[in-house]
Structure 1
Amino acid sequence: MPTPQELDAMSEEERAAVEAAARKKEAEEQAALPYKWRQTLIDVDISVEVPNGTRGKDLIVEIKKKSLKVGLKGQTPIIEGALFKDVKLDDSTWTLDGREVNIHLEKFKGTEWWKCVIEGHPEIDTTKITPENSKLSDLDGETRGMVEKMMFDQRQKAMGQPTSDDLKKAEALKRFQAQHPELDFSNAKMG
């Protein structure tokens, strides 16, 4: 892949051709993996095809904080290696559904995109990810509060109004003034 400077020097058509070739190569590399995967900011879901008639007791599935191993007993693992990032063990699971082992990994730090599942496997360009639309109700309480605050502050700034932090500072100053009427606040500046 060319450097950002080289990309800037290219024509629109050249840039589009380079990016199309990169996307094609990435798709081919991902298709060659022995598993399929998708992700959101908070989790990674992996599916691995296994022979028809495979039962849970025929499998080895080891999900660890920093590694993953999936395979059939007595055979070379289908997936084995260090995970790209840590996962939450208590929230990570696997199931066998017909001919597919489905693995759900909850990201330890649920605010970043993974370039790959296993270190050393082909990477994706995370700058090209378009996240799915989600509803605020899908988020946990803390994350939802943070997103709502950011949305409020963005609307306030767009209207030239004070942000939530500005409003908190003004309220704190007002309380302090009420507690200390002897002080002169006529030249006080917020900042």
Structure 2
Amino acid sequence: MANDPERFDSMLLAMAQQHEGGVKDLLATIVGFLSRKTDFFTGGKQGEWEKVVKDVFYEQAKKAQDEADKAKKEREDAEKRLKDIQQKKEQERLARDFEPATVTEITDQEAEQMQEDIEKDKKSKTDSGDGEGSSNEAQADNASEEEDDPKEKGKLKPNAGNGCDLENYRWTQTLEEVELRVPLRQVLRPRDLNVTISKRHLTVAVKGQPPIIDGDLDSDVKVEESTWVLQDGRNLLVNLEKVNKMNWWGRLVTTDPEISTRKINPEPSKLSDLDGETRGLVEKMMYDQRQKEMGLPTSDEQKKQDVLKKFMEQHPEMDFSKCKFN
């Protein structure tokens, strides 16, 4: 306790707040105390007090400069790690985009069969009225179902970044990562913050104050690829790398209000950045997730049902009444 340099901080802070003239007035009060109540200026050899003052001030100045250099290095290192991760992601994206496409040749007979299947499909849609009008009606029905669905009641609409704007912070997401921005009410250094990222838990706090965030994450993250950096001393940026890249988060931590993942709509420009195969996979995943939330079959389940239905139609002599299909 005797060596704790911060043990008088609260007392000195209270004193400083009462000096409207700032540091100069505060120093005048302290030096005046030494002059009136001690023999600091007169009890030693001539000029000894000057040496003591210089030694103390130079020592503290060096400590302050060392701390500033350390904080600057920590900030630069964090920014470099963040930049390296972003460059790595960009290189991976470019590698996917420029992956050579494969071309499969088909025979004339196969081409004719494909064309016949397309024409039959168009005709069946026309006969059943499954055109643009029915598509609009289906969209209206879906919107109505969402409003009536008790699971959707109380859920917030996602912000422009498919996340949520809350009182003390804002988070956005892509399928790969979550970005958290926390505006701070004072200028701070990295060592003034307590940011702990674990696989399923996040803590963000200013030391000596109640946590801004302290809760379980909506899903697992890759700790080694998640980073945080303090920007301009006033804004904390946290990047969380998702483990499951096929899922949208409904909230940052479990204590947050939940957003409606049905209403998430990735920017078309983001989807267009993907190669054809990856984009098809992402769109299929989004469709399947919406179907699951509405209690409807996924695309794979629908295909199985269609195959079964076709088989049953081709074999009316068989009795399927006692069969159970999953």
User: TM bucket by the smaller chain?
Assistant: 0.5 to 0.7
Residue 147, structure 1, aligned to residue 281, structure 2 = no
Give deviations 1:75-98, integer Å, cap 9, x for gaps: 111001100000011111001112
Deviation at 1:52, TM superposition (A): 2.8
Matches within 5 A, 1:1-191: 15=144, 18=147, 26=156, 30-98=164-232, 99-133=234-268, 134=270, 146-147=277-278
Q: Secondary structure at the match of 2:168?
A: coil
**Cα distance in 2, alignment partners of residues 42 and 51 from structure 1:** 30
Question: Per the alignment, do residues 150 and 109 of structure 1 end up closer, same or farther by CA in structure 2, a change over 3 Å counting?
Answer: closer
Larger radius of gyration: 2
Q: Percent identity?
A: 36
**Cα distance in 2, alignment partners of residues 150 and 73 from structure 1:** 44
**Cα distance in 2, alignment partners of residues 25 and 145 from structure 1:** 33
- Number of equivalences: 132
**Cα distance in 2, alignment partners of residues 73 and 45 from structure 1:** 22
- Residue identity opposite 2:243 in structure 1: F
Match of 1:189 in 2: none
More strand by share: 1
**Cα distance in 1, alignment partners of residues 231 and 271 from structure 2:** 28
Give deviations 1:134-182, integer Å, cap 9, x for gaps: 2676x6xxxx58527869xxxxxxxxxxxxxxxxxxxxxxxxxxxxxxx
- Residue identity opposite 2:241 in structure 1: E
Q: RCO (CA 8 Å, sep 6+): is it higher in 1 or 2? A: 1
More helix by share: 2
Question: Per the alignment, do residues 150 and 64 of structure 1 end up closer, same or farther by CA in structure 2, a change over 3 Å counting?
Answer: closer
- Residue identity opposite 1:26 in structure 2: L
Q: Secondary structure at the match of 2:222?
A: strand
Question: Per the alignment, do residues 48 and 150 of structure 1 end up closer, same or farther by CA in structure 2, a change over 3 Å counting?
Answer: closer
Q: Displaced runs of 4+ in structure 1, greater than 4 A?
A: 22-25, 148-151
What is the TM-score with the length of structure 2 in the denominator? Answer: 0.35
2:271 touches 2:279 (CA, 8 Å); kept in 1?
no
RMSD of the alignment, in Å?
3.4
Question: Per the alignment, do residues 81 and 15 of structure 1 end up closer, same or farther by CA in structure 2, a change over 3 Å counting?
Answer: same
Give deviations 1:64-112, integer Å, cap 9, x for gaps: 1110000100111100110000001111100111211000001011111
**Cα distance in 2, alignment partners of residues 25 and 115 from structure 1:** 9
- Residue identity opposite 2:247 in structure 1: E
Question: Per the alignment, do residues 32 and 74 of structure 1 end up closer, same or farther by CA in structure 2, a change over 3 Å counting?
Answer: same
Q: Secondary structure at the match of 2:205?
A: strand
Q: Which runs of 5+ in 1 are unaligned?
A: 1-10, 152-191
Q: Which runs of 5+ in 2 are unaligned?
A: 1-139, 159-163, 283-326
**Cα distance in 2, alignment partners of residues 116 and 150 from structure 1:** 24
Q: Secondary structure at the match of 1:26?
A: coil
What is the TM-score with the length of structure 1 in the denominator? Answer: 0.58
